[in-house]
């Protein structure tokens, strides 16, 4: 597959980050990513939307600098750029993730 384009930390904007996290589907995906703390293929995370829709959301998250995606075989492994974002916007992503978990805890039994 094609290699993915990722913005550098400098290119990440606060409003871009907030916008990427403001969609319920995306926020839920990021939340899953954060709790598992490791690379995940798209299919490993339960989503309520179609495959193509998820691909779109992943692209939004990637272009906003929220996630990093690399290819391995047929699946694309996604990881959260947590430390990078925390370095640029200290506390933001951490607080959002904590708030998301407080508002709607993930069911950790899949």
Partner DNA sequence: CGTATTGTTCGACATCCATAGAACAATAAA
Partner DNA sequence: TTTATTGTTCTATGGATGTCGAACAATACG
For DNA, the binding residues (CB under 7 A) are: 1-2, 19, 23, 25, 41-44, 49-60, 69, 73-76
| Distance (Å, whole) CA 92 – CA 86 | 7
In the numeric block, which tokens belong to residue 32? 């899953």
| Distance (Å, whole) CA 106 – CA 101 | 7
Does residue number 80 form part of the binding site for a second copy (CB under 8 A)? no
CB of 75 to a second copy, least distance (A): 28
H or E, element range at 79 = strand 75-80
In the numeric block, which tokens belong to residue 41? 């293929």
Taking residues 7 to 46 in sequence order and writing x for each that binds a second copy by CB under 8 A, - otherwise, the string is ------xxx--xx-xxxx--x-------------------
Binding site for a second copy (CB under 8 A): 13-15, 18-19, 21-24, 27, 88-92, 94-96, 98-100, 102-103
């Amino acid at each position: 597959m094609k290699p993915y384009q990722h913005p550098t930390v400098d290119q990440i904007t606060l409003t871009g980050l907030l916008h990427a996290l403001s969609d319920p589907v995306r926020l839920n995906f990021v939340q899953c990513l954060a709790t598992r703390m490791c690379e995940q293929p798209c299919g490993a995370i339960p989503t309520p939307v179609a495959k193509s829709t998820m691909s779109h959301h992943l692209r939004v998250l990637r272009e906003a600098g929220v996630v990093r995606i690399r290819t391995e075989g047929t699946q694309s492994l996604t990881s959260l750029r947590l430390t990078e974002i925390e370095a640029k916007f200290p506390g933001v992503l951490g607080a959002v993730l904590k708030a998301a978990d407080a508002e709607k805890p993930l069911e950790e039994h899949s």
